Every structure is written in C-alpha cells, then in structure tokens.
Amino acid sequence: MSIRTKKITMIALAVAINIVGSKIALALSLPIFLDSIGTILAAITLGPVAGGLTALVGGLINGVLGDIFAIYFSLSGVLMGVISGLLFHKKKLSYVHALWKCLIVTLPASALSACIETFLFGGITSAVVTTVIIQALSQTALKLLGGAFVTQAVTDYVDKLVAIMLVITCVKHLPYELTHFDGKETEEKAA
C-alpha cells in the first residue's frame, strides 16, 4: 500500500472517530464533545493540514447527519487541528508537555467557538449542559461572550486533554508503521 493511500485511510478513520465520538457525547448529553479525538490523531500522525482537514470534513458530515451546529463549529476544529499538528507532529510525545500544549491548542479555538456561539446562535449549542452554563453566566458581569468563552475554555480544555492523552497513549502503543507515515517501513522492506 502506498504512503498516500495510508494517509488518506488514516484521515478517513480519523473522521469516523470524530463522528462516533460526537454522537456518543450528544446521546449521553456529556459536557464534553469527544469530536476531536480523530482530529488530534490526524494532527499528531500526519501534521497540521491533515488535522485541519479531518476537523472540517468531520464537522460537515456531522452537520449533514443532524447536528447543524457542527458545520459552524468545524471552523474552530480546523484551527485546533492545525495548532495541534504544529505542536505535536514529529515531536516527542509527553504526557507532561501535553498539559500545557493543550492550553495552547484550546484557547484560540475556544475564543473562536465563543464568537460563533455568541454572534450566530445567541449562546445556544448542541450540548445542553454547555448551553445552560453559558446562559447562566451571561447573566453575570461576564455577559454572553465572556460566559461563552469561559465555558468553552473549560470544556474544551477537558475535551482536548482527554483526546490528546488518549491519542498519545495509542500512538505510543501501536506499531510504528500504523502511526508514522515517513516511508521508513517501505525502505526497510525493500532493503
């Protein structure tokens, strides 16, 4: 199998993981989204472009499958995927470094999500718990945008940290040829 085919297959798998995670979170009304595990997987194994593409395609498919909010929030997923790829791809994977790198991944994406929630949807999202918290915080000094940002920052950090830790664990325990697409296994077989 060519490296290009492996990369396309990995992106398709990552999109499927995002969709399944999203559906589980919606069905269980979880306060986290679980729709970025595949994005993080693609970003870590293939890089920033693959991370962004995975988030975009996953968001569009989730939107077509009934979660219309996913289409709009896929933009923050793209941002998160690109930043994740820049921070984690071809880098030593460390659980300790993941704690602070997750903050760098989360904050810009949370700011964009808060703007989408506030200006397009008035603080309403597909996650019931998140919507309730945003609406409650909008009645404080934070107002709607501040409440949306605080809520997104906290829930996104937990959500992305779960995704990053899960993906790091998988990448560390899976065979090299399943998580690295640099052609080394092809070169070794040819020799």
Min mean pLDDT across 36-40, 92-96, 130-134 is at 130-134
Are residues 44 and 1 in contact, defined by beta-carbon separation less than 8 angstroms? no
Q: Among 93, 105, 26, which residue's Cα sits nearest to residue 62?
A: 26
pLDDT of residue 128: 82
Distance CA 133, CA 185 (A): 49
Q: What is the pLDDT of residues 145-171, one digit of tens each?
A: 999 999 999 999 999 999 999 999 999
Q: What is the pLDDT of residues 104-129, one digit of tens each?
A: 999 999 999 999 999 999 998 888 88
pLDDT of residue 190: 44
* Domains, in order of start, for the chain: 3-181 (1.10.1760.20)
Does the pLDDT at position 58 exceed 90?
Answer: yes
As a whole-number percent, the residues of the chain with pLDDT over 90 amount to 79
Mean pLDDT on 94-99: 97
Residue with tokens 């870590």: 44
